[in-house]
Amino acid sequence: MNMATIIALLAVVLIVFFAVRYIVKSKKSGAKCIGCPESGSCCKK
Amino acid sequence: MRIAFAGNPNSGKTTMYNALTGMSEKVGNWAGVTVGRKESPLKEEYSHGQEVIAVDLPGAYSMSPFTPEEGITSEYVRERHPDAIINIVDATNLSRSLFFTTQLLELGVPVVVALNKSDINEKENTVIDVAALEQKLGCPVIKTVSTEKTNSGLKELVDKAISLNGKGQVAPYVQADIDLHDKNQVDAEDRKRFSFVNDIVSQVETRQTLSSKSNAEDRLDSILLNKVSGILIFAAVMWLVFTISQAWLGPLVADWLVGYIEGFQEWVTEKMADSPAILTTIVADGIIGGVGAVVGFLPLVMVMYFLIALLEDCGYMARVSAVMDPIFKRVGLSGKSVIPVIIGTGCGIPAIMACRTIRDERERRATAMLSTFIPCGAKVPVIALFAGAFFAGAGWVSTVSYFLGLVLIFLGALLVKVVTGYKYRKSFFIMELPKYKIPSIKRAFFSMLERAKAYIIKAATIILVCNLVVQLMQSYDWSFRAVEEGMEHTSILASIASPFALLLIPLGFGAWQLAAAAITGFIAKENVVGTLAVVYGLTNFIDVDELAMVGGANEISVAMGLTTVSALAYLFFNLYTPPCFAAIGAMNSEMQSKGWLWCAIGLQLCTGYTVAFLVYQIGTLITEGHLGQGFVPGLIAIAVMACVVFMISRRIRADFDRQYALHGGKIPA
């Protein structure tokens, strides 16, 4: 396995890990739409 | 300590809240932008180390809620007992604002009145005697200008509110002990309160500009609110917005950005020349190609958001509501339904939430059901991709997409009106028109940046993960063996998407790749572009030079194998079928009826399918002289949909007749 492959594999794992973590955290904090600047506050009653 | 920000709609509450907390909640120059409660701690420079929470509430004209979002304000200040209330009063319209102020003063919670927009009063030579007003109301009154950095009066205002913590409030006017169920008694009491307020205003206010005199704003309104010229101007303004963002300025910037993304993709592919092919495909095509294809459209979206923010800020969008009111009334909606439609150009979720400002339940649900027909920001890349690849970047594609969305709202409302037997009910629309003002470039710029940030976060999270999954599903078959080149139809993705593709043959796009892209679009609409990039191995969807040279017959159109007619049908299918799942969730919470929700999803599916069918079949007949593939099955599908709508309509009408029948639902002989 060459260096480029190792770096690419690591990059994929890290990117996916952080992306999924962000999605899960956003959903837990009540966001309906990921990345939305309203962050779910538009839906509060 | 909790300080509630309460006041009439469009008095500047959220602007002040943003200035005091550092938040960037949505503001707009019209009534009804804030429809929910928002809370945040005050900035250190205002709270002096104490924990002070600011609570921004929706605008209300009185403590007796007229619309659902007014109920939020009334319930909060009445039941949650904030430690102080900052009552934001529009200084340019004192007599209207003080009605609510006198009601707040009766609650016993200390009130500080912020005489907001005082700068406009100075320009119009309107003088308010602050000391006299303080004495009449029995509470502190402070002049404020929330949009100013210095001398805004905000520090003094917050200091005063904090100093009143734990103290009470004496009311200058106390409502008589009346029967609140008796409309006549309530009316009489309200008139007395108005008379009390008018008496105060006559003593504290000196006006040079009388509202009875016609001024330049009134003359401009006579043109913009005219039922003919108003609509023509609206059409021209929107055409300009879409053309600048999606045909002129947007693609130029996007072309430059895409060049860098493509260069980066090539560089990574080169560096990974010795890596396993599957890994190179995942990284270069799946992640960089898929996400890059979506991010490439960012400049188009940013330019559109910037222009719409300018229009909102100058006060024009509120006029659009008034112009559209007579048209919308004909189909059982009102001008209030226009606000969600305008907000929907940004995002469908706040648009659906904005339906709270509509009092009538049927009208509110119908608006929530239909407002997502207006293409949101997430659909801009899809429009731009097809306009660029098949119509040489023609600006009319986006303009037609938006106006067709309006027409579908109109027709959908008509259908809802017929199905629900609307003729039995009435609707009315009262709206306060904000003053015209020169739009703030800075505010529009920051509004644009907020949206751009959201777009990038979405691309780097949900769209990235989706593209990766799509790439893996396309690279492997069900035995988890890598799919060889040219054998993609044996992949997991192809086998899942193919049954759906069969249903799409009458619409002119029965390829599994296109079906897969449409399905992933329900997660986020940008995914349509991302998935197309992955399944066709394309990244550069914006090549201004190539489009100029070949006028549409380019790499993208060749790869997808669509005619211009079927491409337009596919675009409309993606625009007018149900929105993303998040927006459907918002519809669910706003409609509060499973029946209405399923009807909404069904209506949107039928609409998208029918529009695409008509565009493909009629377009093929015109351009090629014969009907397209699958005409008869498509016609049968649409006939079945029409039968379902007819059955639902009959059932609702039967229920309605049974509910109001005097003879057990049977007509006596």
3-state helix/strand/coil string of B171-217: CCCCCCCCCCCCHHHHHHHHHHHHHHHHHHHHHHEECCCCCCCCCHH
Same domain, B157 and B52: yes
The number of residues in chain A equals: 45
Predicted local distance difference test score (pLDDT) of residue B663? 60
Same domain, B255 and B199: no
Shortest distance between the Cα of A40 and any Cα of chain B, in A, equals 9
The answer as to whether B479 is a domain residue is: yes
> Who contacts B229 (Cβ-Cβ below 8 Å, separation ≥6)?
B223
Predicted local distance difference test score (pLDDT) of residue B25? 80
Same domain, B47 and B119: yes
Maximum Cα–Cα distance across chain B: 89
| Mean pLDDT score, A14-32 | 88
Other beta carbons within 10 Å of B565: 21
> Who contacts B451 (Cβ-Cβ below 8 Å, separation ≥6)?
A37, B301, B302, B305, B346, B377
Residues of chain B found within 8 Å of residue A38, distances taken between Cβ atoms: 25-26, 347, 349-350
What residues 3-22 of chain A have any CB closer than 8 A to a CB of chain B? 4-5, 8-9, 11-12, 15-16, 19-20, 22
Same domain, B240 and B109: no
The answer as to whether B309 is a domain residue is: yes
The answer as to whether B669 is a domain residue is: no
Residues of chain A found within 8 Å of residue B451, distances taken between Cβ atoms: 37
Other beta carbons within 10 Å of B136: 20
Intervals of chain B under pLDDT 50: 424, 547-552, 667-669
Residues of chain B found within 8 Å of residue A37, distances taken between Cβ atoms: 24, 26, 450-451, 453-454
The answer as to whether B663 is a domain residue is: no
Q: Are the C-beta atoms of residues A12 and A2 closer than 8 Å to each other? A: no
The answer as to whether B544 is a domain residue is: yes
The answer as to whether B664 is a domain residue is: no
* Run of H or E residues at B279: helix B277-280
The answer as to whether B324 is a domain residue is: yes
Same domain, B570 and B639: yes
Residues of chain A found within 8 Å of residue B291, distances taken between Cβ atoms: none
The answer as to whether B293 is a domain residue is: yes
Of the pLDDT bands very low, low, confident and very high (cuts 50, 70, 90), residue A44 is very low
Among B350, B451, B457, select the one facing A42 at the smallest CB separation. B350
B460 touches chain A (CB under 8 A): yes
Count of A–B CB contacts within 8 Å? 99
Distance between CA atoms of residues B70 and A5, nearest Å: 59
Same domain, B370 and B486: yes
Predicted local distance difference test score (pLDDT) of residue B551? 44
- Note whether A5 contacts B455, CB cutoff 8 Å: no
Same domain, B132 and B29: yes
Tell me which residue range forms the domain holding B437. 229-658
For chain B, the domain total comes to 2
Same domain, B6 and B113: yes
Among residues B206, B238, B263, the one where a domain terminates is B206
Same domain, B274 and B181: no
Among residues B166, B191, B206, the one where a domain terminates is B206
Same domain, B50 and B106: yes
Shortest distance between the Cα of B460 and any Cα of chain A, in A, equals 7
Q: B647 to each of B49, B370, B460, B640, B641, how far by Cα in Å?
A: 64, 21, 45, 11, 10
Q: Which residues of B65-103 are buried (b: 16+ CB within 10 A; e: fewer)?
A: bebbbbbbbbebbeeeebbbbbbbbbbbbbebbbbbbbb
Shortest distance between the Cα of B441 and any Cα of chain A, in A, equals 19
Instruction: Locate the chain A residue with the closest alpha carbon to B451.
Output: A37
Distance between CA atoms of residues B242 and B300, nearest Å: 9
Q: B537 to each of B269, B292, B553, B559, B560, how far by Cα in Å?
A: 13, 12, 17, 9, 11
Distance between CA atoms of residues B295 and A18, nearest Å: 19
Distance between CA atoms of residues B580 and B462, nearest Å: 12
Residues of chain B found within 8 Å of residue A36, distances taken between Cβ atoms: 347, 349, 454
Predicted local distance difference test score (pLDDT) of residue A36? 64
- Note whether A35 contacts B461, CB cutoff 8 Å: yes
Among residues B206, B239, B254, the one where a domain terminates is B206
Same domain, B190 and B291: no
Alpha helical stretches, state H, B212-248: 216-224, 229-243
Report the CATH number at residue B198. Answer: 3.40.50.300
Distance between CA atoms of residues B193 and B106, nearest Å: 12
Backbone angles phi, psi at B360, to 5 degrees: -70, 125
Instruction: Locate the chain A residue with the closest alpha carbon to B73.
Output: A45
Q: 3-state secondary structure string, chain A?
A: CCHHHHHHHHHHHHHHHHHHHHHHHHHHCCCCCCCCCCCCHHHCC
Distance between CA atoms of residues B577 and B575, nearest Å: 6
Same domain, B506 and B598: yes
Q: Are the C-beta atoms of residues B383 and B575 closer than 8 Å to each other? A: yes
